[in-house]
Amino acid sequence: MTGTPFTATTLGSARIGPNRQLKRAVEAYWAGRTDQAQLHALAADLRVAGLRELHAAGLDSIPVNTFSFYDQMLDTAVLLGALPPRVAGIADDLDRYFAAARGTGRVAPLEMTKWFDTNYHYLVPEISSSTTFSLHPDKVLDELTEALALGVPARPVVIGPITFLLLSKGVDGTAPIDRLDELLPLYRELLSTLRETGADWVQIDEPALVTDLHDDPAGLVTRVYGELARATDRPAILVASYFGDLREALPALAATDIEGIAVDLVRGTADPVASVPALTSKLLVAGIVNGRNIWRNDLSASLATLATLLGSAASVAVSTSCSTLHVPYSLDRESGLDDTLRSWLAFGAEKVAEVVTLATALRDGRDSVDQALDACARALAARRSDPRVHDDGIRERIAAAVDAGVARGPAAQRRAAQDERLGLPVVPTTTIGSYPQTSEIRRARAALRANEIGVDEYERRMRGEVASIIALQEDLGLDVLVHGEPERNDMVQYFAEQLDGFFATENGWVQSYGTRCVRPPILYGDVRRRHPMTVTWIDYAQSLTDRPVKGMLTGPVTILAWSFVRDDQPLWDSANQIASAIRDETVDLEAAGVGIIQVDEPALRELLPLRAEDQPAYLRWAVDAFRLSTAGVADATQIHTHLCYSEFGAVISAIADLDADVTSIEAARSHMEVLDDLNSIGYANSVGPGVYDIHSPRVPEVGEIVASLRAALDAVPAQRLWINPDCGLKTRSTDEVEASLRNLVTAAHIVRAEL
463, 566, 642, 732: residue in contact with ligand MET (rule CB under 6 A):
642
Region label for 713, one of left (φ > 0), alpha (ψ between -120 and 50) or beta (otherwise):
alpha
State the binding site for Zn(2+). Answer: 642, 644, 657, 666, 727
Binding mask 675-714 for Zn ion (x = CB under 5 A): ----------------------------------------
Piece in contact with ligand 39S (CB under 6 A), picked from 294-302, 515-523, 673-681, 746-754: 515-523
516, 611, 620, 671: residue in contact with ligand 39S (rule CB under 6 A):
516
Distance (Å, rounded) from C-alpha 136 to C-alpha 81? Answer: 7
Of 123, 122, 119, the closest CA to residue 512 belongs to 119
- Residue 54 touching Zn ion (CB under 5 A): no
Pick the catalytic residue from 326, 483, 640, 695: 695
Region label for 603, one of left (φ > 0), alpha (ψ between -120 and 50) or beta (otherwise):
alpha
- Residue 640 touching ligand MET (CB under 6 A): no
Q: How far is CA 261 from CA 238, 353, 570, in A?
A: 5, 22, 29
Angle among Cα 120, 125, 127 to the nearest 5 degrees reads 155
CB of 642 to ligand MET, least distance (A): 5
Cα atoms in the Cβ-side hemisphere of radius 13 Å centred on 150: 22
483 is catalytic: no
Pairing type for strands 111-114 and 121-124 reads: antiparallel
CB-based contacts of 111: which residues, under 8 Å, 6+ apart?
Answer: 123, 124, 169, 669
Among ligand MET, Zn ion, ligand 39S, none, residue 64 binds (CB under 5-8 Å by kind): none
CB of 669 to Zn ion, least distance (A): 13
21, 197, 731, 746: residue in contact with ligand 39S (rule CB under 6 A):
731
- Residue 517 touching ligand 39S (CB under 6 A): yes
CB of 599 to ligand MET, least distance (A): 10
Residues in 88-127 that interact with ligand 39S by CB under 6 A: 119
- Whether residue 324 contacts residue 348, with contact meaning beta carbons closer than 8 Å, is answered with yes
Q: Kindly tell me which of 243 and 562 has the beta carbon lying closer to ligand 39S.
A: 562
631, 705, 712, 727: residue in contact with ligand MET (rule CB under 6 A):
727
Distance (Å, rounded) from C-alpha 735 to C-alpha 716? Answer: 32
Piece in contact with ligand MET (CB under 6 A), picked from 64-72, 77-85, 299-307, 724-732: 724-732
- Residue 442 touching ligand 39S (CB under 6 A): yes
Binding mask 645-674 for ligand 39S (x = CB under 6 A): x-----------------------------
The H or E element containing residue 156 is strand 154-159
- Residue 433 touching ligand MET (CB under 6 A): yes
CB-based contacts of 623: which residues, under 8 Å, 6+ apart?
Answer: 654, 657, 658
- Residue 33 touching ligand 39S (CB under 6 A): no
User: Residue 283 pairs with which residues in a beta bridge?
Assistant: 260, 315
User: Residue 220 pairs with which residues in a beta bridge?
Assistant: none
CB of 354 to ligand 39S, least distance (A): 26
Sign for the pseudo-dihedral over CA of 444, 447, 453, 459: positive
- Whether residue 249 contacts residue 224, with contact meaning beta carbons closer than 8 Å, is answered with no
Region label for 349, one of left (φ > 0), alpha (ψ between -120 and 50) or beta (otherwise):
alpha
CB of 438 to ligand 39S, least distance (A): 9
Chain centroid to CA 90: how far?
30
State the binding site for 5-methyltetrahydropteroyltri-L-glutamate. Answer: 23, 114, 119, 516-517, 562, 606
CB of 650 to ligand MET, least distance (A): 19
Of 181, 69, 68, 87, the closest CA to residue 125 belongs to 87
433, 602, 688, 689: residue in contact with Zn ion (rule CB under 5 A):
602
- Residue 688 touching ligand MET (CB under 6 A): no
Sign for the pseudo-dihedral over CA of 44, 47, 50, 51: negative
CB of 151 to ligand MET, least distance (A): 44
Among Zn ion, ligand 39S, ligand MET, none, residue 552 binds (CB under 5-8 Å by kind): ligand MET
240, 306, 432, 480: residue in contact with ligand MET (rule CB under 6 A):
432
Distance (Å, rounded) from C-alpha 620 to C-alpha 628? Answer: 12
- Residue 730 touching ligand MET (CB under 6 A): yes
Of 474, 475, 473, 508, the closest CA to residue 490 belongs to 508
Q: Kindly tell me which of 66 and 641 has the beta carbon lying closer to ligand MET.
A: 641
Angle among Cα 565, 285, 381 to the nearest 5 degrees reads 40
CB of 23 to ligand 39S, least distance (A): 6
State the binding site. Answer: 23, 114, 119, 432-434, 485, 516-517, 562, 600, 606, 642, 644, 657, 666, 727
State the binding site for L-methionine. Answer: 432-434, 485, 600
Distance (Å, rounded) from C-alpha 705 to C-alpha 745? Answer: 10
Amino acid sitting at position 473: Q
Q: Kindly tell me which of 201 and 502 has the beta carbon lying closer to ligand 39S.
A: 502
Amino acid sitting at position 468: S
Question: No. of H helices and E strands in the chain?
Answer: 27, 20
Distance (Å, rounded) from C-alpha 630 to C-alpha 696? Answer: 32
State the binding site for L-homocysteine. Answer: 432-434, 485, 600
- Residue 615 touching ligand 39S (CB under 6 A): no
- Residue 585 touching ligand MET (CB under 6 A): no
Residues in 244-263 that interact with ligand 39S by CB under 6 A: none
- Whether residue 540 contacts residue 463, with contact meaning beta carbons closer than 8 Å, is answered with yes
335, 385, 439, 451: residue in contact with ligand 39S (rule CB under 6 A):
439
Residues in 554-593 that interact with ligand 39S by CB under 6 A: 562
Pairing type for strands 516-518 and 510-513 reads: antiparallel
Sign for the pseudo-dihedral over CA of 402, 407, 408, 409: negative
- Residue 512 touching ligand 39S (CB under 6 A): yes
CB of 516 to ligand 39S, least distance (A): 4
Chain centroid to CA 149: how far?
35
User: Using CB under 6 A as the criterion, which residues of the chain lie in contact with ligand MET when the complex forms?
Assistant: 432-434, 491, 552, 600, 602, 642, 644, 727-728, 730
User: Using CB under 6 A as the criterion, which residues of the chain lie in contact with ligand 39S when the complex forms?
Assistant: 119, 437, 439, 442-443, 445-446, 489-492, 512, 516-519, 562, 645, 731
Active site residues: 695
User: Using CB under 5 A as the criterion, which residues of the chain lie in contact with Zn ion when the complex forms?
Assistant: 602, 644, 727
